[in-house]
Structure 1
Amino acid sequence: MRSSIALHVDDVCTYVGKTVLVNNATFDVKAGEIIGLIGPNGAGKTTIMKTILGLMKFKGKIEVNGKNVSENDHHALTRVGALIEHPAIYPFLTGMQNLTLYAHDQKDMANLISELQMDSYINYKAKGYSLGMKQKLGIAIALLNQPQVVILDEPMNGLDIESTIRVRKLIKRYSDQGTAFLISSHILSELQKVMTRVVLISGGQIILNKEVKEFEKISHQKYHLTTENNKLTKKIFAAYQITFTENENYLIVSQNDIYKIEDLLFNEGVHLKEILPLEANLERIVVDVLEKKRG
């Protein structure tokens, strides 16, 4: 296996009893890559993450930096940081004491406290922390000790805008230094700002694995179009079976039909007033892909 592959998941099936929760999952995360693991509720995102951490019964192969992961054997996970579901913090210890349990380097710990702006409450007991404070402490624990792989499940949960921006910048900085990230989030607009690759899961199966730029191309780019006579234009589109939707004072059409539309309108003597590409929207693209998958 190439040294640039930080996390290798090969034909992995995860079970609870005889029930298959994840079926034949295969993907790699290279050093410095930020993978966005996305999909509907119950799709299997958290299950995959727990499986990688050796917390679930599975078949197949999982390797972290070339070392095999097996159920309940965490030897391969010494350079892996994780935040899954809820931060693993002790409520009757202070934030500082929680970090000290895991930290190998005091300077590294102090930098994370400062970066995440936790100085004002880090010496208070964690039981009094707000959701956002607990989340930042959990993220700090995941990023301690310069991990080679970081797995984050809904890291932006409970964070305000300023904290979200800080976490995003931290993720980018660590990835620039070679740390590989696997991140799930329902806030796709925020995930879109950091991820380099999309892994889309539905019903326990990975249905798409592409770089972000390729992913945005798979949904046919839409254009909005206005003519001098939209009413007549709609009749022409209907007659020639051109698919469109209507939004306020303009029509939305597929990029694939643009040349045909231009020729038709010219032949029918209808003048175009405006034609502009609509910006790609990650949420819309995901919905389109899932709808196509479901038929």
Structure 2
Amino acid sequence: MADAILTVKHLNKSYGHQPVLRDVSFECTQGRIVGLVGANGAGKTTIMKAILGLLSTDGEIQIAGESMQFDHHPILATVGSLIEYPSLYPYMSGWDNLRLFADGPDAQARLAAVVSALNMTDYIHQKARHYSLGMKQKLGVALAFLNQPQLVILDEPMNGLDPQGTKELRDFILKQKQAGVTFLISSHILSELQKLADDLVIIDHGKIIEKTTMTALLTTTDHFVIVKTDHDGQAKAVLVAAGYQVVADTVVKVHLAPDHQVADVLHVLTSHGLTVRDVRHETADLESTILKLLATTSA
């Protein structure tokens, strides 16, 4: 099993008498993408800032086996990050913003490579003050990757990106993952996170309520079969009488319990003289699964 690049143990943080983080513990394993998920105000950004030494907390944080202290953290030289909105020099070009932070003898080559990979070539020499929100976001992501980090922490990286920019960033992140980079990503765009994350840390009101893999979580989701027949009203009645849960909808949508098979549903319909014209599967997505989990926990 791969080593943990990031280890967070018993992290606690309060502002006055208000707890923000409550005994938060998790790991990020090398070469995997970890999604940090929760509602606004759940504590995601606070966790990321604590890892980056931007605020003091109780607990222990280790990066690549080295313990972090709030006032001493040389290991952060191996970490790339984008937290909230990127801090840019508006009267400098995007290229010059990147040059300020690019270290090492091959800095120019790495800078050019990340600009090309994120498709920023057309505007990288314009002043940053003329950039759109999406362009600024890409520049912030580029800054996070400049110095070949082992661990990258991204807070809402898809913010402001159009569909093409989102795909370009997704492809770039997956390519970096294949090269062994570890990611901790927070995003409210759960449909995108579903395409990226290997592991999930789900947080609610400052406390972790679930640590799992994307695959494991989605296998627990609800599965449905949607059937089109020559008489949908009769089909619904027949299925309900046979003990199936038919979801209230304009179509015939049947909840499939673990012991139910699609073939059995179709057999019930055809045995009652109904003609099945179309069948398709539907599985709950990450967003609906997370919302259901949060609702269950809060109940």
Fold shared per TM-score above 0.5: yes
Deviation at 1:69, TM superposition (A): 1.5
Letter in 1 for 2:20: L
Q: Matches of 1:191 and 1:285 in 2, distance apart? A: 13
What aligned pairs does 1:33-112 form with structure 2 within 5 A after superposition? 33-104=32-103, 105-112=107-114
Closer/same/farther in 2, CA of residues 80 and 242 from structure 1, 3 Å limit: same
Please name the residue that 2:294 is paired with: 290
Identity %: 37
Q: Matches of 1:19 and 1:294 in 2, distance apart? A: 18
Please name the residue that 2:281 is paired with: 277
8 Å CA contact retained: 1:14, 1:23? yes
Letter in 2 for 1:218: T
Q: Matches of 1:23 and 1:57 in 2, distance apart? A: 14
Letter in 1 for 2:288: R
2:136 equivalent among 134, 137, 140: 134
Closer/same/farther in 2, CA of residues 100 and 220 from structure 1, 3 Å limit: same
The CA deviation string for residues 160-204 of structure 1, in whole angstroms up to 9 with x for no partner, is 222211111110111111110011111111121121112211111
Deviation at 1:143, TM superposition (A): 0.7
Please name the residue that 1:29 is paired with: 28
8 Å CA contact retained: 1:94, 1:122? yes
Q: Matches of 1:207 and 1:270 in 2, distance apart? A: 46
Letter in 1 for 2:138: K
Letter in 2 for 1:293: T
The CA deviation string for residues 120-153 of structure 1, in whole angstroms up to 9 with x for no partner, is 3222221222111111110000011110000011
8 Å CA contact retained: 2:222, 2:284? no
Deviation at 1:16, TM superposition (A): 2.2
Q: Where does structure 2 lack aligned partners over 5 or more consecutive residues?
A: none
Q: Matches of 1:191 and 1:131 in 2, distance apart? A: 20
Q: Secondary structure of 2:195's match?
A: coil
Closer/same/farther in 2, CA of residues 199 and 220 from structure 1, 3 Å limit: same
What aligned pairs does 1:231-246 form with structure 2 within 5 A after superposition? 231=233, 243-246=245-248
Deviation at 1:235, TM superposition (A): 5.7
Q: Secondary structure of 1:51's match?
A: helix
Q: Matches of 1:5 and 1:257 in 2, distance apart? A: 38
1:209 aligns with 2:211: yes
Please name the residue that 2:193 is paired with: 191
Please name the residue that 2:258 is paired with: 256
Q: Matches of 2:130 and 2:261 in 1, distance apart? A: 62
1:224 equivalent among 223, 226, 247: 226
Deviation at 1:82, TM superposition (A): 0.4
Closer/same/farther in 2, CA of residues 231 and 7 from structure 1, 3 Å limit: same
Q: Where does structure 1 lack aligned partners over 5 or more consecutive residues?
A: none
Q: Matches of 2:285 and 2:262 in 1, distance apart? A: 25
8 Å CA contact retained: 1:225, 1:253? no
Normalising by structure 2, report the TM-score: 0.87
**Number of residue pairs the alignment of both structures matches:** 294
The CA deviation string for residues 216-271 of structure 1, in whole angstroms up to 9 with x for no partner, is 012232333567766566567767875431221303313236269949x85xx646
Normalising by structure 1, report the TM-score: 0.88
Letter in 2 for 1:56: L
8 Å CA contact retained: 1:14, 1:56? no
Cα-Cα RMSD: 2.8
Q: Matches of 2:133 and 2:238 in 1, distance apart? A: 55
Q: Matches of 1:7 and 1:287 in 2, distance apart? A: 27
Q: Matches of 2:17 and 2:100 in 1, distance apart? A: 37
8 Å CA contact retained: 1:245, 1:252? yes
